[in-house]
Amino acid sequence: MARLQGGDKEAFGILFQRYVKLVHRICERILRDDTEAEDLTQDVFLFIERKCRIFDRSKSSARSWIVQMTYHRAFERRRYLVSRHFYTRENLEESGSSVLGKRLVEADYSPEAVFGRNGLNKILESLSEEQRETLRLHFFDGYTLSEISQKLGEPLGNVRHHYYRGLDRLRKQMFGNNVPTEQRHGK
C-alpha cells in the first residue's frame, strides 16, 4: 500500500491479485448478483487507486482498510439497487413516466435531458453556494463528508448541514412535498 501511495503502478497489480477474490466475495454476498458484484469489485479497486493516500497504516492494516472500503461501497450500492427496485424486478416504466414526464432516449439520462435546461437551473438556484459545492464534491467527485470538510476548511457539522439541507431542497424542488417522510430521511 505504501508503494501504491508512492505512485508505483506495479504495486496496484499486486494489490489487485492479492485481494480481488476477497473483495468479490464480499460484493457478491452483499449484492447477491454476480454481475453487480463484478462491477463493484472493479469500482472498489479504482476507488482504492484514487484514494490510497487516505489510508493510514497506523490505524489499520491494508487488508482491513480494503475490506472496510468494500463493505461501505457494497452497502451503498445495495441501497441504490433497492431504491431502483433491482431486486424486485418491478416494471417501473409507468411510474417513471409520471415523475420524469416525457419519455427519453434510452442513453440520455443527463440532468439537462430529464429536467430541461431551465428546470435544472431552477433546481440548482434553489441551493445555497455551500450546498451546491458540497453536493458536487460528494456526488460527482466522490469525496466523503469528512474529506469535504477538510477540503473546504469547514467543520464536519457544517458540511453535514449543507449536505442534508441541500438534499432536502432538491427533493422538494423535484417532487414537491409529495415525498414520504421515510424517503426524505433515506430510510
Domain count, the chain: 2
Residue 124 has a CB neighbour count (10 Å cut-off) of 16
In a domain, 157, yes or no: yes
Q: What is the rounded CA–CA span in Å between residue 77 and residue 55?
A: 22
**Does the CA dihedral 183-28-1-50 come out positive or negative?**
negative
Residues 152 and 79 in one domain: no
Picking from 48, 83, 118, the residue at the C-terminal end of a domain is 83
In a domain, 97, yes or no: no
In a domain, 23, yes or no: yes
What global pTM score does this model have? 0.47
Q: Residue 22's domain spans which residues? A: 2-83
The SS3 call for residue 114 is helix
Question: What is the crossing angle of helices 129-139 and 156-175, to 10°?
Answer: 90
Percent of the chain with pLDDT over 90: 27
Picking from 23, 52, 83, the residue at the C-terminal end of a domain is 83
User: Would you say residue 18 has pLDDT above 90?
Assistant: yes
User: Would you say residue 60 has pLDDT above 80?
Assistant: yes
Contacts with 143 (C-beta within 8 Å, 6 or more apart), sequence order: 137, 151
